[in-house]
Amino acid sequence: MTSVPNAEYVPPARIFSTFKRHKLLIAGVTLVITTVSAAAISQLKPYYDATTTISVGTKQASFHDLQATLGTQDVDAVAINTQVGVLTSPAIALNVTRNLHLDERPEFRSILDKEPLPHRLKRVLHLATASAPLSAHDRVLATSLLLMGHVKIINDGRSAIINVTARTPDASLSASIANAYAQAYFEFQRQNKIAAIRHASALLDEQLAPLRNRLFSAEQAVEQYQEQHGMIALQASSAGQGDEAQNNAATTVAGARLEQMNRELVAAQSDLMAKQSQYEQTLSAMHTGRLDSSPGSVASPLIQSLRSQQVQLNGRIASLNSTALDNNPELIAARAESARISAHIASETGKIAESSKHELDAARARVDQITQEMDTLQSRVTTENQADVKLRQLQSEATAARMVYRDYLGRLTQTSSEAALQEPEADLISAAQIPLGASGPPKARLGALVFILALGAGLGAALIKEKTRSNMRTLSEMEGTEIFGLGMLPLFSGTIREQFKARNSLYLSMSDAIRGMVSFRQSAVNEKVIVITSAEPAEGKTTFAVTLAASIGRRRQRALIIDCDARRPSLSNVIGLRDTSSGLHHDVMPGVDVFILHPDPSDPLLLNIEEVESTVAKMRPIYDTIILDAPPVLVSPDAGLLAASGSPVIMVTKWHHTPTSAVKEALRVLRAYHARILGGVFSQVRLSELSPSEGGRLNSYSGYYSLSNS
């Protein structure tokens, strides 16, 4: 299965052929555009570029955080683009305009004072009145808008470096604008940060008053609740403890008293047990008679002194018993003294026992008293513990309010202290210097670019002209009108006789090729008579009729040409016939005869169809081919009448001249007469303007043949 060629594809050879064919148009368009543009480029004023380099995103760390100050920063594309947007904002341009008083500079003042051309024309035509002058504020604003067109903010997207380039006709002004842009940007950043901090401080300050009131209300609620329930708190003695520790350490008076009474009860019970043991030991010693072993006796100095005296007396009595009789006065006195001391010791021991009993009773009473007080306090503490749940909730709320208040107070203090230390998060890498020479315009490059564009415009004009043409150039275009393309005949100078007499004639070769194809198609329809016509006058139909007849004569056949164009008979001129009288002219060219019809007596401009038919009928047995040179189809109906007889028609079309619409209209007329179209031929083809794809067989024959006198 064969593929259908792409109708949109245009061979490069055809494109170059189109350019070659329209070379004058291309040269003219290129020359005009280049000349006008060169004149405009020569009038361009020089300008000067000055660039300031800024590094953005340098974060300012606190003074105590030196590591953060020296740390490297990552490139944030979003942040960099944001800073580029800040630099290109109208606010920065307005600040620079005000700082440098650019509205007073002649570079900008001349633009503002210049009246736009449309408004000037309207004013001249009285369609508009003169506009009021701009106010000072409006001039500054308009100048800032003009300034934005003279400044470029560029970031390569791979670093945090931003280049601010100012372009003006004044070198010093360009440098001033670039540096002023950097300073305005730094000041904008600093003021923006200060404003943000002040705004934050204001917000914090607004929050402090409600927080302070909330803290006061919470603490007051705690105190009122304690007073209502008799829960007077005893704060911990440690002043350095936090609020939570103080709340945990704090207790009520009843609770503190209960804890104290508990400790006193333990001490009283211990003392009671000690007194009970001492008393029991004293009673036991008294019952056993061993008074010296009682705790009170051991601890009493008097008893110990009496016992010491008794020991001495007992030693003396023992000594006297060994040396004296029982009635010895000294022995009796010693025994009496010993008895007195023993009685004294017994008396003192009894007193000690009585004192121990009193102390035991007092200790018991103390324990009972403390126990009763503890029972009373325990009941009170139980009641207070039930209220302590609500109290702790109130204390927690007060603690939370106190922490929030202190946090906001600390933030307010911090932000207030930082407001005066703010610096822009950017560094000036290099300030703009006054350019030593003009930066542009690059007139040479502009000229080359203009020439390229002009050449492109010329080529485009050629393509547009080729695209919009309405005539036919190729056999494929002819076949698009449903006419079979028989071939092309090149344009030549001189006469047909010279072309047929010349050796290696390209015209003769192409005519033979067309004749061969005509003969083949003619034999298919078995018809000797051929009607040759065209859509419009001066398309070379008569020349082709003579050419076809001469080519047939070269094949040793006989051909007859009948001039059927009564309005513009040109057969005699084309063939070079001196005798233009009516009738048959023999051998005007080898094998070619010519028949000139008699003019119609009633109207010489009318074709005598009866004479044509009778002549054809008479000459048909004599000649191999009879050619009827008919008038143009769109000029006279004679061509249709001749074709109505059934003779095949050959349509001659002037190459690159006859509109396609004319050819289609001629075909429509011929079909109305039921004409049989044998084919079509291009005449007067310019070989130099043909591309390889358009030339067809001409390209093959041109390598072997040439045109005579061309």
Residues shown for the chain: 710
Task: Answer yes or no: do 363 and 264 share one domain.
Answer: yes
> In this structure, what DSSP letter does residue 292 have?
G
Helix (H) or strand (E) holding 223, with range, is: helix 171-228
Query: 3-state DSSP call for residue 11?
Result: coil
Q: For residue 601, tell me if it sits in a domain.
A: yes
* Domain ranges, residue 29: 10-44+441-468
Alpha-carbon distance values, 374 to 225, 253, 358, 385, 692 (Å): 25, 13, 24, 16, 130
Amino acid type, 457 = A
Based on the structure, what is the number of domains in the chain?
4
Q: What is the mean pLDDT of residues 546-574?
A: 91
More confident residue, 697 or 456: 456
Q: Is the pLDDT of residue 70 over 50?
A: no
Query: How many C-alpha atoms does 560 have within 13 Å on its Cβ side?
Result: 24
Q: State the pLDDT at residue 593.
A: 95
Q: Is the pLDDT of residue 412 over 70?
A: no
Q: At which residue do the structure tokens 């620079």 appear? A: 96
Question: Which of 607, 608, 682 is CA-nearest to residue 650?
Answer: 682
Confidence of residue 63 (pLDDT cuts 50, 70, 90): very low
Each residue's pLDDT tens digit, 257-274: 777 878 888 888 888 788
Q: For residue 104, tell me if it sits in a domain.
A: yes
Each residue's pLDDT tens digit, 209-240: 787 777 778 778 777 777 776 665 544 433 34
Each residue's pLDDT tens digit, 617-648: 999 999 999 999 999 999 988 989 998 888 89
Task: Answer yes or no: do 522 and 666 share one domain.
Answer: yes
Q: How far apart are CA 530 and CA 616, in angstroms?
A: 11
Q: Is the pLDDT of residue 690 over 80?
A: no
More confident residue, 75 or 146: 146
- For the chain, the average pLDDT equals 80
Q: What is the mean pLDDT of residues 41-66?
A: 75
Alpha-carbon distance values, 659 to 136, 178, 466, 536 (Å): 66, 64, 13, 9
> Which tokens sit at 357?
């009993």
Return the exposure string of 347-363: e unless at least 16 CB atoms fall within 10 Å of the residue's CB, then b. Answer: ebbeebbeebeebbeeb
Q: Is the pLDDT of residue 702 over 60?
A: no
Task: Answer yes or no: do 415 and 449 share one domain.
Answer: no
Task: Answer yes or no: do 400 and 305 share one domain.
Answer: yes
Q: For residue 561, tell me if it sits in a domain.
A: yes
Q: State the pLDDT at residue 705.
A: 54
Question: Which of 493, 255, 281 is CA-nearest to residue 378?
Answer: 255
Number of C-beta neighbours around residue 21 at 10 A: 20
Q: Is the pLDDT of residue 563 over 70?
A: yes
CB 58 within 8 A of CB 426: yes
Q: What is the mean pLDDT of residues 369-375?
A: 82
Q: Is the pLDDT of residue 307 over 50?
A: yes
Q: Is the pLDDT of residue 281 over 60?
A: yes
Task: Answer yes or no: do 523 and 647 share one domain.
Answer: yes
Q: How far apart are CA 31 and CA 451, in angstroms?
A: 9
Residue ending a domain, among 371, 403, 430, is 430
> Which tokens sit at 342?
């023993």
Name the β-bridge partners of 677: 649
CB 123 within 8 A of CB 188: no
Q: For residue 404, tell me if it sits in a domain.
A: yes
Q: Is the pLDDT of residue 416 over 50?
A: yes
Confidence of residue 477 (pLDDT cuts 50, 70, 90): confident
Question: Which of 89, 95, 167, 184 is CA-nearest to residue 428?
Answer: 184
656 sits in the region (left: phi over 0; alpha: psi -120 to 50; else beta) called left
Q: How far apart are CA 118 and CA 122, in angstroms?
A: 6
Q: Is the pLDDT of residue 170 over 60?
A: yes
Alpha-carbon distance values, 1 to 4, 5, 272, 476 (Å): 10, 13, 131, 22
> Which tokens sit at 31?
């020359």
Supply the CATH number for residue 101's domain: 3.30.1890
Q: Is the pLDDT of residue 68 over 70?
A: no
More confident residue, 700 or 441: 441
Each residue's pLDDT tens digit, 86-137: 899 999 999 999 999 998 888 888 888 776 667 667 766 766 666 667 788 8
Write the CB contacts of 631 (distance below 8 Å, at least 6 apart in sequence): 533, 564, 565, 566, 567, 568, 607, 638, 639
Task: Answer yes or no: do 399 and 267 share one domain.
Answer: yes
Task: Answer yes or no: do 547 and 687 share one domain.
Answer: yes
Question: Which of 536, 493, 543, 524 is CA-nearest to residue 706?
Answer: 493
Q: For residue 385, tell me if it sits in a domain.
A: yes
Antiparallel, parallel or unpaired: β 529-534 and 648-654: parallel
Task: Answer yes or no: do 278 and 129 share one domain.
Answer: no
Task: Answer yes or no: do 78 and 60 share one domain.
Answer: yes
Number of C-beta neighbours around residue 708 at 10 A: 21
Q: How far apart are CA 615 and CA 594, in angstroms?
A: 12
CB 336 within 8 A of CB 273: no
pLDDT-wise least confident of 296-310, 528-542, 681-695? 296-310
Q: Could you write out the DSSP letters of every residue in 57-98? A: --PPPPTT-HHHHHS-----HHHHHHHHHHHTSHHHHHHHHH
Q: State the pLDDT at residue 10.
A: 65
Question: Which of 605, 598, 478, 586 is CA-nearest to residue 539?
Answer: 478
More confident residue, 364 or 536: 536
Helix (H) or strand (E) holding 154, with range, is: strand 151-154
- H helix runs in 586-680, sequence order: 609-619, 638-643, 660-672
Confidence of residue 254 (pLDDT cuts 50, 70, 90): low
Q: How far apart are CA 562 and CA 567, in angstroms?
A: 14
Question: Which of 558, 530, 554, 551 is CA-nearest to residue 621?
Answer: 558
Question: Which of 291, 407, 389, 290 is CA-nearest to residue 348?
Answer: 291
Task: Answer yes or no: do 348 and 454 share one domain.
Answer: no
709 sits in the region (left: phi over 0; alpha: psi -120 to 50; else beta) called left
Q: State the pLDDT at residue 364.
A: 83
Query: 3-state DSSP call for residue 489?
Result: strand
From first CA to last CA, the distance across the chain in angstroms is 45
Q: For residue 234, tell me if it sits in a domain.
A: no
Q: State the pLDDT at residue 616.
A: 93
Q: State the pLDDT at residue 381.
A: 72
Is the entire prediction scored with pTM above 0.75?
Answer: no
Q: State the pLDDT at residue 257.
A: 75
Confidence of residue 35 (pLDDT cuts 50, 70, 90): very high
> Which tokens sit at 184?
């305005």
Q: What is the mean pLDDT of residues 547-561?
A: 93
Task: Answer yes or no: do 383 and 524 share one domain.
Answer: no
Q: For residue 241, tell me if it sits in a domain.
A: no
Q: State the pLDDT at residue 244.
A: 47
More confident residue, 298 or 438: 438
> Which tokens sit at 679?
């084919």
Query: 3-state DSSP call for residue 540?
Result: coil
Q: How far apart are CA 292 and CA 349, in angstroms?
A: 9
- Sheet bearing 592-596, strands edge to edge: 485-490, 676-685, 648-654, 529-534, 625-629, 559-563, 592-596, 583-589
For Cα atoms 550, 552, 554, give the angle at the middle one, nearest 5 degrees: 70
Phi–psi pair at 683, nearest 5 degrees = -115, 160
Query: 3-state DSSP call for residue 164?
Result: strand
Each residue's pLDDT tens digit, 515-547: 988 888 877 667 899 999 999 999 999 999 999
Amino acid type, 417 = S
Q: For residue 202, tell me if it sits in a domain.
A: no
Task: Answer yes or no: do 490 and 606 share one domain.
Answer: yes
